[in-house]
Structure 1
Amino acid sequence: MLQINQTVKNITRLSQVINTLLKYSFEDIISNTGLKRFVPAKRQISWKRQDKSVFEYTRWERVRMVIEELGPSFIKLAQLLSNRPDILPEELIYEFSKLQSQVLPFDLEQSKSIVERETGKTINEVFTYFDTRTIGSASIGQAHRARLKNGTDVVVKVQRPDAYSKVTTDIALLKDFVRLTENYFKNLGILNPKEIVEVFEKTMLNELDYEIEARNIQHFRQIFKNEKKVKIPQLFKKYSTSKILTTEFISGCKITDIEQIKAWGVNPAKLIKAGMENYFSQIFEFGFFHADPHPGNILVSPDGKIALIDFGMVGKLTKREKHDFSAFFIAMANQQPKIMANHMQRLAGNTEIQNISFLEKELEDLVDEFVTYDFENRKLDELTSRLRKIVFDFKMSIPGSIFLLLRTLAILEGIGRVIDPEMKIVEVARPYGFKLFKEKYSPKNLNYEFQYAISNIFSLLYSSPIDLKFILKKIKNGKIYSHIELHGLENFLKRIDINTNKFVLTFIFAALFVSGALMTNIPPERMSTFFELPWISLLSFVLSAFFGFVLAIYLIRNRNS
């Protein structure tokens, strides 16, 4: 019964998707995929949006409009993909960057009911005050101010009652949608739509579990427990579950509210420098960074401390990713495109780059544009845009965390320019990058890399006999099959066949002619002659002439080959 209900939900939602696609002139997706069987023959279509023909919008603008109309889950997917230039073209990433997930709050009584169910207590047993208004509302949940019985002001984030159902329905729909349209999107250059949905599913299911965000908060509090200039809100684990999250309320203003910051006697330039240094510490020292640094998530308290809130989106970098990322930008600053290409390839992992010299040329142009001629006036988002294009053109699979990091740095640079137009984010980052670069070649890290390499070698030596035994057993049982398809080799194989035939005919012709010539020296008393030639010599000449004639005809017939 549950499966039937889910199928009905999927069909209903799929119909909505098809109607939206048709509305924005994406009838080619419908007509060229399995979706066409869901559209009635006499369907009447409206081709306008805001009294303007949809054909006056670009294709990528219409894609964004489709996403906007399909709702929060699809907006979340598009926002996730805006950090994946290895998947989407730059023009579409630009359109997706315009998307905003604006969702109306749900009913207060529902919110209270969820809190009571999750804590096992009534609102009055936990809080002396619970604000009826929300201080933020999104597709997954909304937040309320409240006060605990001990007088601590807190923020309670409550998950929407239908969030899980809507997300799982939309994910199921996306899987069906991709199954029906996969070949269409591959023709557009989007090669792995199934992987996109799988990544989105993992991301959304993580966002539905507030305990993950709670662990992020605890981790940040641990690594910055001795930090004097930055504050991380306290987590109240007793009143937090997978569906609600209770954290300390931090009073302050947005980091871009320069007038209020100055009124508190805080120097904005020093403040933003301290904030940037903290972010670079997150990135280059810990490899664990707050990945949603818009002004609403970075507050300034009256005592001049910076407070980070909302840890639902964090970025994680491995040690190798940190090293290669810093080495790439150091090589860029030193105008070394070959070294840049090497580190970019290392970041791309198993991606096979067909022509590394073309990549080096692209990076050389990048260096000329952003370092050699106009470095001081270029912005990080412009650099990020160029890097995205290079990644897409060369079909490199760069970890999403790298472009999440670049997006984070671009947002921070924008905030920095508002507060202190003279601040150079690259100059603030430089000491951290060089520190990480030196760490990469430190005896400790080289020893670690050496031990890692030795471990891999021993692992290979250990597993090779087992793997070989397995393969031999498969061969013995006739269970190993090889299937090879060669495309575009027909002409090549034909030429080989012709040349082989030429060689064989020429060889026979030459062998018979030489043999006949040699046997002309046989004395007449030892063999009968014809026309004063030993009969076997004459036969060789005749056969040689025949094969010479065949060779000539064959060459004439195949002269174009």
Structure 2
Amino acid sequence: MSILPNRLTRYQKFLSFMLKYWNSDLLNETTSNALEGESAGEFSDYDQSPEELVDDLKKMGPTYIKLGQLLSTRPDLLPDNYLEALTSLQDDLPTIPYEKIREIVEDELGSRISKAFNWFQEEPLASASIGQVHLAELRSGKKVAVKIQRPGIRKKFLEDLETLEEVAGFAANHTEIGKQYAFDDVLAELKRIMLHELDYLREAENLVTLGTNLKSYRRLLVPQPIPDYTTSKVLTMEYVQGKKVTSVSPLRKLEEDHTALVDELIESYLKQIISDGFAHADPHPGNIHLMDNNKIALMDLGMVAQFTKKMQEYLLRLLIGLSKNNGEEITDILLEMSERSEVSTEKEFRRHINTMINDSRNSTAQDMQTGKLLIQMNRSAALNGIHLPVEVNILGKILLNMDQIILALSPGFDLKDAVRRHVTKIMQDKMVNELAPEEMFSALLESKKLAENLPERINKITENLANNDFNIKIDALDEKRLTDGFQKVANRITLGIIIAAMIIGAAMMMRVPSPFMIFGYPGLAIIFFLVAAIGGIALSYTILFKDE
């Protein structure tokens, strides 16, 4: 009996939030930025303050806090003071009492904290929407960061997502903007990502994979998990001492040149996307830490993106087009990788893309245009009935976050030049890798299969040709429908000629005297005329109302 009131409470909470912000200047300007690409930093006076928005999201629960965190990484949508306030959602949330933390850790590890660790710090290092991080020391003397999942968080996520799914489904089915942006598909992807983030075993696997892929980058570090101390709700990993890149003091920026560090970070992300097909999908400044030894640590791998080989090729070509500012090339690639609806307007989409590329020429990192450009392209595609794959938006989000990191560490860094240089190098490496023995062996196996089957297939073709049994099927044309159409046209023409002949014959017979009269006219002529008139009317009705 409590299920219905609980659901009504969730709807009431969601509707109250929407009613408060639906007609607000903040939402209107945010929508304007999303669709038209105006600068979010120009707007400052709104009915709701940044602190009020943060408090409302906290009251809404963990799912909405997570959405707020995603918004905090979008400077293309919100003003700076709102971004700063939403950033507090990343690690400034109510803490879980230590007694509850101790209970969860001991239940998950099957051992008392005092036995598992030399010491376990009661005060958390950070408290986020999904978990809380504590500093501890293993029996071996190694310092570790222990992330503990909030109790009951999975149930709360699923409840909130159920409400959002129903609203998104309604919007996708009954509103034009919901159809354009496929709200239900977006939410389904968000649900998949959030459920993956709730599984710390999966995150541990992600840390290992990314650490292996990036081991050649000496300035980058991916903290590795401690398997024996990790479960689906407790993640223990190497402790990294550093601070967010956005928290670096201005004095340190002046004293140290971070250009080489940023360049290596950009190269590593390009490698993840177009070479490895496995990328850290949430590299916002809160997850990128600058260490005391001037290395960068990539944190929080709950959210990763995986790209197929075909998609890697598309994104490689897209990045090359972006680095060259070639609007036509970019449009061709986007159309090649997209799906189109019946009402798609390719010409308008092509014009939009070329305008965006021309406007973005000669932009610097401080303008933060690269990632924003891709996201605006995605929106332009949606408005023109063209559905780009979700990987394009993921790439846009990653580059948008890279823009912020560049601005924090090396504002004069030329991202487009870096993309051009590294993409060329990665493309050369991919071509070399494709010549590796294992790749060549795969090609040889395919050639072997072709060589084995070729004689038999040639024999069948020549035998069918000799027996006049060789047929070619073409699906481009329905010959039956075509011949039926020709037959119908021929029949209509024949019937029309017969009707015309009957009318002419009836007119000529009018002058021939006859004892059989109808309405004072020769009877046979009137009969022919009436039959022709009825036939003509019937034929006209069929042509006008029945034919497809």
Q: Do the two structures share a fold, i.e. TM-score over 0.5?
A: yes
Note the C-alpha offset of 1:325: 1.6
Secondary structure of the structure 1 residue equivalent to 2:316 = helix
Tell me the distance in 1 between the aligned counterparts of 2:490 and 2:268: 72
Tell me the distance in 1 between the aligned counterparts of 2:138 and 2:55: 43
The answer as to whether partners of 1:326 and 1:436 remain within 8 angstroms in 2 is no
The answer as to whether partners of 1:21 and 1:66 remain within 8 angstroms in 2 is no
Count of equivalent residues: 464
- Paired residue for 1:13, among 3, 7, 10? 10
Q: Deviations over 1:460-510 (max 9, x none)?
A: xxxxxxxxxxxxxxxxxxxxxxxxxxxxxxxxxxxxxxx999989964542
- Residue number in structure 2 paired with 1:136: 126
- Residue number in structure 1 paired with 2:112: 122
- Residue number in structure 2 paired with 1:216: 206
1:235–1:375 CA distance, 2 compared to 1 (3 A) = closer
The answer as to whether partners of 2:259 and 2:410 remain within 8 angstroms in 1 is yes
Counterpart check, 1:396 vs 2:393: no
Tell me the distance in 2 between the aligned counterparts of 1:412 and 1:222: 22
Q: Deviations over 1:523-544 (max 9, x none)?
A: xxxxxx94499x9xx7775556
Secondary structure of the structure 2 residue equivalent to 1:358 = helix
Note the C-alpha offset of 1:245: 0.6
- Residue number in structure 2 paired with 1:107: 97
Q: Write the mapping of 1:59-458 to structure 2, written as runs, cut at 5 A.
A: 69-77=59-67, 99-100=86-87, 101=89, 102-177=92-167, 183-185=173-175, 189=179, 192-256=182-246, 257=248, 261=252, 266-334=256-324, 336-349=326-339, 354-371=344-361, 379-435=369-425, 444=434
The answer as to whether partners of 1:146 and 1:153 remain within 8 angstroms in 2 is yes
The answer as to whether partners of 1:330 and 1:433 remain within 8 angstroms in 2 is yes
Report the residue type matching 2:241 in the other structure. S
Query: Which range moved further: 433-442 or 277-286?
Result: 433-442
Tell me the distance in 1 between the aligned counterparts of 2:443 and 2:354: 30
Tell me the distance in 2 between the aligned counterparts of 1:513 and 1:273: 88
Note the C-alpha offset of 1:240: 0.7
Note the C-alpha offset of 1:220: 1.4
1:173–1:369 CA distance, 2 compared to 1 (3 A) = closer
Report the residue type matching 1:11 in the other structure. L
Q: Which runs of 5+ in 1 are unaligned?
A: 27-55, 85-89, 459-498, 521-528
Tell me the distance in 2 between the aligned counterparts of 1:15 and 1:387: 35
Tell me the distance in 2 between the aligned counterparts of 1:453 and 1:540: 81
Report the residue type matching 1:10 in the other structure. R
Query: Which range moved further: 506-515 or 141-150?
Result: 506-515
Tell me the distance in 2 between the aligned counterparts of 1:270 and 1:63: 38
Q: Deviations over 1:14-70 (max 9, x none)?
A: 3333444455578xxxxxxxxxxxxxxxxxxxxxxxxxxxxx869xxx999976652
1:254–1:94 CA distance, 2 compared to 1 (3 A) = closer
1:357–1:126 CA distance, 2 compared to 1 (3 A) = same
Query: Which range moved further: 424-433 or 192-201?
Result: 192-201
Note the C-alpha offset of 1:167: 1.6
Tell me the distance in 1 between the aligned counterparts of 2:289 and 2:177: 46
- RMSD of aligned residue pairs (Cα, Å): 4.8
Report the residue type matching 2:360 in the other structure. F
The answer as to whether partners of 1:288 and 1:317 remain within 8 angstroms in 2 is yes
The answer as to whether partners of 1:80 and 1:200 remain within 8 angstroms in 2 is no
- Residue number in structure 2 paired with 1:480: none
Report the residue type matching 2:225 in the other structure. L
1:296–1:236 CA distance, 2 compared to 1 (3 A) = same
Q: Deviations over 1:97-133 (max 9, x none)?
A: 7855352111111111111111111111122222222
The answer as to whether partners of 1:77 and 1:200 remain within 8 angstroms in 2 is no
The answer as to whether partners of 1:317 and 1:401 remain within 8 angstroms in 2 is yes
The answer as to whether partners of 2:146 and 2:237 remain within 8 angstroms in 1 is yes
Report the residue type matching 1:107 in the other structure. P
The answer as to whether partners of 2:133 and 2:145 remain within 8 angstroms in 1 is yes
What is the TM-score normalised by the length of structure 1?
0.68
Report the residue type matching 2:11 in the other structure. L
- Residue number in structure 1 paired with 2:478: none
Report the residue type matching 1:326 in the other structure. L
The answer as to whether partners of 2:220 and 2:295 remain within 8 angstroms in 1 is yes
Secondary structure of the structure 2 residue equivalent to 1:13 = helix
Q: Deviations over 1:72-92 (max 9, x none)?
A: 2134346669999xxxxx979
Secondary structure of the structure 1 residue equivalent to 2:121 = strand
Tell me the distance in 1 between the aligned counterparts of 2:296 and 2:164: 40
Tell me the distance in 2 between the aligned counterparts of 1:177 and 1:160: 26
Tell me the distance in 2 between the aligned counterparts of 1:289 and 1:215: 13
Tell me the distance in 2 between the aligned counterparts of 1:516 and 1:185: 62
The answer as to whether partners of 2:93 and 2:127 remain within 8 angstroms in 1 is yes
The answer as to whether partners of 2:245 and 2:290 remain within 8 angstroms in 1 is yes
Secondary structure of the structure 2 residue equivalent to 1:273 = helix
Tell me the distance in 1 between the aligned counterparts of 2:136 and 2:286: 19
Tell me the distance in 1 between the aligned counterparts of 2:300 and 2:391: 18
1:72–1:540 CA distance, 2 compared to 1 (3 A) = same
Note the C-alpha offset of 1:512: 1.9
Tell me the distance in 2 between the aligned counterparts of 1:316 and 1:179: 26
Counterpart check, 1:510 vs 2:474: no
